[in-house]
Amino acid sequence: MNGSIVTEFVFLDFSGSRSALLFLLILVLTCYTIVLLGNLLIMVTVWTDAKLFHCPMYFFLANLSLLDVSLGSVAAPKLLTDLLNGGGTISYAGCMTQILTFHLFAAVEMFLLTVMAYDRYVAICHPLRYATIMDRQRCSSLLILSWTGGIIHGIFQTVVTTKLPFCTSNVLDNFFCDITQVMKLSCSDVHVSEILLVFSDSVIITPCFLTLLVSYVTILVTLCGRFGKGGRKGLSTCGSHLMVVFLFYGPIVFVYMKPSSNNQVDKMAAVFYMVVTPALNPLIYTLRNQEMKGAMGKLKSKCKHFLLPQWE
């Protein structure tokens, strides 16, 4: 059978009491608001501060904030609507769009976190050559490569999924179109498709993970010999990066690598990595970073001067 007969997919509700669902609604709404406002604040702060804008670390941080807004917006608005309505559906085209955007933005973020680890490695282990190695052209090239890899990955995952026929059940026990659950609904043999998708994921995850591991192990070994102010500052910066990496990889590994499956637990883990983590990233980078806090203070003063002029 060629093509898809299913025209829409049905999302199953979160199970739980009314108060639990209300708590989830408030949690998602709060986190999504922080995702939008917090990451927007970081982007505006970096883009309006010449010193930060020309620093590779903050250049990548602003782009990470853009990715967090994009990734957080893949499912959060739809989830909020469905929680208010007590359930929801999504069209076939909308489902494929969610699969495309989620894998695209997640892959780009994975690449970008790896690039940020490499940036910190160069800054700490080769400080005298840092400005030469991480010039604006190199930074822009790394960013373009990250987006190119993410776009290719997202398109590949989506094309493989669209080739599958869906002609039986259309019920997804999730709040978004998770590709593993969508494939289970196909009325054809998905063995080859699963191999292709696993291969695609491995091409990204394996080199990114190894690069992250080597970079941070080398950084930590280097910092062990530095107990001065510079060493403490480098350790604090790397600590923020490691927290973000753990928050990004942890829930994804939990959902896709564990042997047993509990749909309710998987749903909450998905809420965490799609909504909560993008909300935590701006807090981690701003609360632990004196330069960001100083730049935000200057931005606040500029806004006050612009909005509340002093009348003589």
Least confident of 32-41, 131-140, 204-213, 228-237: 228-237
User: Looking at this protein, which amino acid is placed at residue 110?
Assistant: M
Out of 2.60.40.3880, 1.10.10.10, 3.40.50.1970, 1.20.1070.10, select the CATH number for domain 8-307.
Answer: 1.20.1070.10
Q: Higher-confidence residue: 195 or 143?
A: 143
Residue 78: phi and psi, rounded to 5, are -65, -40
What percent of the chain lies above the pLDDT cut of 90? 33
Give the start-to-end residue ranges of the domains of the chain.
8-307
Residue 211's alpha-carbon distances to 57, 182, 207, 251, in angstroms, are: 17, 31, 6, 20
pLDDT (0 to 100) of residue 34: 93
Residue among 142, 123, 110, 128 at smallest CA distance from 218: 123
Band of the pLDDT at 132, cuts 50, 70, 90?
very high
The DSSP symbol for 128 reads G
Which of the two residues, 36 and 88, has the higher pLDDT score?
A: 36
pLDDT digits (tens, 9 = 90+) for 80-122: 998 888 778 899 999 999 999 999 999 999 999 999 999 989 9
Tokens 């990066």, located at residue:
241
**What angle do the packed helices 290-307 and 18-48 form, to 10 degrees?**
80
State the pLDDT at residue 312: 42
Annotate 4-15 with DSSP letters as a single string: ----EEEEPPPP
Q: Would you say 99 and 181 are in contact if contact means Cβ atoms under 8 Å apart?
A: no
